[in-house]
């Protein structure tokens, strides 16, 4: 598969019902990795990931949430930080659900350079979404004029990784950590902090697996949930080794 090939993300994220997703990833539909110190439950870990960024988000900030999913982080930013949040997703199903919640979310294909982005925000918030974008530098450059601060979390591969970078049913193309840093800086952002939180996130796999086993038993789940199931199996077969190969990088840039 060509890295630049078009992938139907709308279909990929719109097939399974919201109710089914809630059974697997939690009632608030946070589709990202959690942050765990110990034996916290899934919802606690998922919300902690978002709260970790609060020191970089001024109360009342105007936020552009790139890849907002079903709106879990956006709801927290509105309710806990009094932010004004605009979300962007490509998924028709996610748009409908977010609008049902009363969130300000609109549909856009961020791969299309001709689609203009608004420029009146304080913070770009992008939680584990950039891996879906083929030309990451181009998007980061376009976002440079939209806000004065970038909060970016991204699943990467280690710099010495030699395996397949196209993953998750073909929907993602991973970059190395060095390539991500280069893309951010080339796009005109100045990195203020960077950290790898992968080993705080690994418990997420066990909790997702518990829910998948409860819902599907020994049967293979459908659609994107099958891609999630395969990822979980690969990670849990050797969590430490997997974690070293696939860092999860948080970047704060201005």
Q: CA-CA distance, 32 to 69, in Å (whole number)?
A: 9
Dihedral angle computed from the Cα positions of residues 166, 125, 45 and 179, in that order, rounded to the nearest 10 degrees? 40
Q: CA-CA distance, 83 to 74, in Å (whole number)?
A: 9
Which helix or strand (DSSP H or E) is residue 25 part of? Answer: helix 18-25
Q: What is the DSSP string of 145-205?
A: TT-SEEEEEEE-B-TT--S--EETTTTEE--BHHHHHHHHHHTT--EEEEEE-HHHHTHHH
- Are 254 and 147 contacting, i.e. CB atoms less than 8 angstroms apart? no
Q: What is the pLDDT along the chain (254 residues), one digit of tens a residue?
A: 344 455 676 777 777 889 999 999 999 999 999 999 999 999 999 999 999 999 999 999 999 999 999 999 999 999 999 999 999 999 999 999 999 999 999 999 888 876 678 789 999 999 999 999 999 999 999 999 999 999 999 999 999 999 999 888 888 899 999 999 999 999 999 999 999 999 999 999 999 999 999 999 989 998 889 999 999 999 999 999 999 999 999 999 99
Beta strands 166-167; 172-173: pairing state:
antiparallel
pTM (2 d.p.):
0.93
Structural fold of domain 9-253:
Rossmann fold (3.40.50)
């Amino acid at each position: 598969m060509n890295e630049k090939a078009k992938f139907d993300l709308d279909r990929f994220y719109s097939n399974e019902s919201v109710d089914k997703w809630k059974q697997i990833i939690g009632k608030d539909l946070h589709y990202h990795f959690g942050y765990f110190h110990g034996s916290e439950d899934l919802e606690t870990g998922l919300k902690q990931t978002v709260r970790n960024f609060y020191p970089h988000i001024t109360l009342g900030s105007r936020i552009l949430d790139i890849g907002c999913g079903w709106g879990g982080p956006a709801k927290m930013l509105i309710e806990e930080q009094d932010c004004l949040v605009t979300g962007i997703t490509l998924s028709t199903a996610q748009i409908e659900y977010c609008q049902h919640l009363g969130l300000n979310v609109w549909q856009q294909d961020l791969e299309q350079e001709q689609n203009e982005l608004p420029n009146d925000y304080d913070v770009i918030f992008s939680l584990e979404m950039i891996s879906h974008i083929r030309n990451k530098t181009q998007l980061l450059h376009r976002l440079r004029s939209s806000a004065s601060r970038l909060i970016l979390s991204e699943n990467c591969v280690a710099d010495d990784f030699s395996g397949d970078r196209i993953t998750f049913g073909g929907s993602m193309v991973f970059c190395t950590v060095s390539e991500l840093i280069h893309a951010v800086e080339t796009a005109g952002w100045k990195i203020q902090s960077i950290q790898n939180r992968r080993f705080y996130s690994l418990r997420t796999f066990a909790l997702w697996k518990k829910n998948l086993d409860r819902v599907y038993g020994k049967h293979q789940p459908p659609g994107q949930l099958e891609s999630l199931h395969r990822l979980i199996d690969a990670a849990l077969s050797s969590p430490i080794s997997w974690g070293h190969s696939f860092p999860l990088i948080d970047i704060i840039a201005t």
